[in-house]
Structure 1
Amino acid sequence: MVIGGTSGIGLALARHYLQRGDRVAVCGRDLQRLPADFHNAISYQVDIADRTSLSQAINDFAAQGLDMLIVTAGIYFNTRSHLLDEAATLHMLRTNVSGLSHAFELAAEKMLRQKSGQLVAISSVAGLLHDYPGASVYSATKRNVLSLCDTYRIALQPFSIAVTAIVPGYIDTAKLRALNEGDASHKPFIMSEQKAVALIVDAITARRDRVVFPWQMKWLIAVLNLLPRWVLKLRK
């Protein structure tokens, strides 16, 4: 099951597992975005922030077993260009934090009965930053993703359930291009969607705890974390 599977990385991952012949469920807020070649996928119109609909979808699909849950759903706001008011703040928290927590909780309940399975969440290198001026709330939510993955991994490891945290840098998706006036090529170490999906699939297959890519971004983040806050504020 892929939550956030109607676009971007979620869609690409769902397509990979469909082409492999797996039984795949795709969850998203707008199922009309699914392409024609997804006719073999089971689809659920779900907002991850809505625990009721999320629970109904997982219960329905998991009635025949649940081998893997992949959560790619997430919201980004950059406070340099958008005012993060009360409604936007709550929306981000409910999607990036509460929604993921509920999804993991519901899926773990099914997997514990099987004594098998894998939980996968997409975080961001922003979650590795100690401070991220202009996107500090987003960065904090992505740190929470990593913390949640660590917690569930420790709790579920005795029951043969793996938890994988994916920590990507910039990926050349349609959404990123839209956020950058149609062209995201200026982003540091930007990676093609195809290559990113290959790395994610490899990490999932190996049941790795955490994978950070590209490696250049991993080291850049380490350097940025050594810089004082006022330097980071100069970043354009």
Structure 2
Amino acid sequence: MFTPIEGRTVVVTGGSRGIGKGIARVFAAAGANVVITGRDPAVAEAAAAELGKAGGTVSYVAGDVASAADTGRLAEEVLGRHGGCDIVCANAGIFPAASLDAMTEADIDLVLGVNVKGALLTVQAFLPALKASGHGRVILTSSITGPFTGYPGWAHYGASKAAMLGYMRTAAIELAPHRITVNAVLPGNILTEGLSEQGEDYLRSTEAVIPMRRLGDVEDIGNAALFLATDEAAYITGQSIVVDGGQILPESPAALDEI
């Protein structure tokens, strides 16, 4: 049995939809006080109301994680509501497609700004609270794309997700004296609104190269994040957990024909 995290405060950036919403749902069901962020107040408010039915308390703060002013305001709001923060899930991310020959400077700045800068600014804003917690946790949502795999059109996205792991390792060293762990979850293809937009052919072709023969659920990522947030994971830091149904394992698609 794991030590309950009931009553601890969790921030999930980008928690109004997709993987972030799944992470928030798992923590809410575990009885945590969950605060989600999103750039669309109406979407975030609706998500908070829905997630609140899972348990715990769920509220939202609208804002842009790529803005230091917004992440600072987020920290102030969370501390004002709950008196502290124990777990930061830096999940907010975007993945607009652009080929290398068409990618603009604005495209690069946007993706790196949200995915990398956003994670750094969010963690920075909550450092005092995480240090005061005594069992602070930082959980980054990276991806298999970048650290392990590539996909045409996502060079900037892959670069951003690999960069998160470089950040994780140094942050884990710096924050270890404060009993704060810093780890990452690397999702494979998880069934979200964004993935569905890639079309039915993409979904079916992706399932065909996953050894488990299915796309992941958002709760699969939430469960991994929940484990990293427990007291039992207190000696794990600077590590990444791949949650992909075995997608990165086959040497080629032909390997799956052998099973």
* Bin for the TM-score computed over the shorter chain: 0.7 to 0.9
Measure, in 2, the Cα distance between the counterparts of 1:59 and 1:96.
22
Q: Which amino acid aligns with 1:170?
A: N
Residue 116 (structure 1) aligned with residue 141 (structure 2):
no
Q: 1:210 aligns with which of 206, 217, 240?
A: 240
Partner residue, 2:224: 199
Shift of the 193–24 alpha-carbon distance from structure 1 to 2, 3 Å rule, reads closer
Residue in 2 aligned with 1:230?
A: none
For 1:196 and 1:99, locate their aligned partners in 2 and report how far apart those are by CA, in whole Å.
20
How many pairs were matched up? 222
Contact 2:138 2:183 in 1 (8 A): yes
Moved over 4 A (4+): 130-133
CA distance in 1: counterparts of 2:179 and 2:203, whole angstroms: 40
**Alignment-mate amino acid for residue 28 of structure 2:** L
**How far 1:131 sits from its partner (Å)?**
5.9
Determine whether 1:79 maps to 2:109.
no
Supply the AA of the counterpart residue of 1:119. Answer: V
Which residue of the partner structure matches residue 41 of structure 1? 58
Residue 15 (str. 1) matches residue 45 (str. 2)? no
Greater displacement, 17-26 / 149-158: 17-26
Higher relative contact order (CA 8 A, sep 6+): 2
Partner of 1:231: none
Distance 2:216 2:135 in 1: 32
Structure 2: 5+ residue stretches without partners: 1-10, 253-259
User: What's the counterpart of residue 56 of structure 1?
Assistant: 73
Q: Which residue pairs with 1:178 in the alignment?
A: 197
List aligned pairs for 1:140-155, cutoff 5 A. 140-155=159-174
Would the aligned equivalents of 2:37 and 2:62 in 1 still touch at CA under 8 Å? Answer: yes
Residue in structure 2 matched with residue 137 of structure 1 by the alignment: 156
**Structure 2 counterpart of 1:37, which letter?**
E
Which residue is equivalent to 2:123? 104
| Structure 1 pair 151–180 and aligned structure 2 pair: CA distance change class (3 A) | farther
Q: Distance in 2 between matches of 1:109 and 1:49?
A: 20
SS at match of 1:25: strand
Over the aligned positions, Cα root-mean-square deviation in angstroms equals 2.5
2:146 alignment partner, one of 118, 127, 150 = 127
Indicate how the Cα distance of structure 1 residues 103 and 192 shifts in structure 2: closer, same or farther if over 3 A, else same: same
State TM-score, norm by structure 2: 0.76
Query: Secondary structure of 2:60's match?
Result: strand
1:196 deviates by 3.5
Q: CA deviation at 1:76?
A: 0.8
Name the SS of the counterpart of 2:249 in structure 1. Answer: helix
| 8 Å contact kept, 1:152–1:163 | yes
Distance (Å, rounded) in 2 between the aligned partners of 1:119 and 1:177: 28
Separation in structure 2 between the aligned mates of residue 105 and residue 19 of structure 1, nearest angstrom: 27
TM alignment of 1:88-99, pairs within 5 A: 88-99=107-118
In 2, Cα distance between the equivalents of 1:139 and 1:18? 30
Asked whether the 8 Å contact 1:127–1:146 carries over to 2, the reply is: no
Secondary structure (helix, strand or coil) at the match of 1:11 reads helix
Query: Which residue number corresponds to residue 37 of structure 2?
Result: 27
After TM superposition, the score normalised by the length of structure 1 is 0.83
Q: CA deviation at 1:129?
A: 3.3
